[in-house]
Amino acid sequence: MTFSIAGQVGDAFGVAVASKFPFVGAVVPQARLGVGAVATQAMARVSYRSTALDALAGGGDAGAAVAACTGPDDGREHRQLGVVGVDSQATWTGTECMDWAGGVSGREATGGYAIQGNILTGRDVVEAMERAWLASAGGSLSDRLLAALLAGDEAGGDSRGRQGAALYAVSPGAGYDGCGVLADVRVDDHPQAPQELARLLSINDLLFGTAEEVLPLTGELADEVGRRLASLGHDTGSDHGSEGGSDPGGRGVAAALEAWASEANYEMRLSPDGIDTKVLAALRDETG
């Protein structure tokens, strides 16, 4: 009923999943800081998530984590499981999973991955996901997980159609207040669930990501930002922060930017060195 990828990029771990099943994000994915990521599906057993992660935390590799889940489970042949640990990965497909069902796992310089699916249109779904994952090397974990998921969807995905999708990922110091949650985004019921997940993830990144490429608030850029903020009702000073005027350092623009960003929930991307390019793009979008 589902296709998923558990992946690792350095210290970050996560899972992306899509299915013709609502609320799939409540069932399939889990990840733990410093430990790994797990996806349980087909006739999913939610307890596999904690069992596998506990096995990894206890020093076992991904194969041992799979064995800890499936060994005592009489229903294991109806289940699928993907596990990625700090230095290992594994995928399990029971013999009774509905066609097409299977998976692939591997490791590259930045970490491991485990891809699996059942009731798929064919083997090419997991193959497309693997190619997309490998081709996205150098990107962030959430971007790479999403790329793999969208590739699987484009290749055919769940043979029954689309309904739910989710991405859960953790990374040290990431997310709101540095809690470690890089992304926790779910699409519970949508006819184009993977594409809706992509849209929501872009918002998640804007709100919970930290400043990346920062441009100095000087000269023509300060003028532009000042005009746009003024059009939204924020006081920036008469010259909108341009150099050589009454506010040569752009202090009025910077203060107005902080006020607007706080209203729009972009405060995690504020920087004393200028304006984050993604915040600038959001400001331009809002002001036309």
Q: Which of 148, 183, 208 is the last residue of a domain?
A: 208
Three-class secondary structure of residue 180 per DSSP: coil
pLDDT at 246: 43
Domain that holds residue 196: 2-208
Q: Are residues 128 and 74 in the same domain?
A: yes
Residue 86, CA distances (Å) to 11, 174, 179 in order: 8, 18, 20
The answer to whether residues 116 and 24 belong to one domain is yes
3-state secondary structure of 78: helix
Q: pLDDT by residue (tens digit) across 147-181?
A: 999 999 999 999 999 999 999 999 999 998 899 99
- Is the pTM higher than 0.95? no
What's the number of domains the chain is made of? 2
158 vs 112: CA distance, rounded Å: 24
Pairing mode, if any, of strands 102-108 and 111-117?
Answer: antiparallel
d(CA 233, CA 20): 45
Task: Provide the pLDDT for residue 1.
Answer: 67
Per-residue pLDDT at 8 exceeds 80:
yes
Question: What is the number of helices (H) and of strands (E) in the chain?
Answer: 8, 12
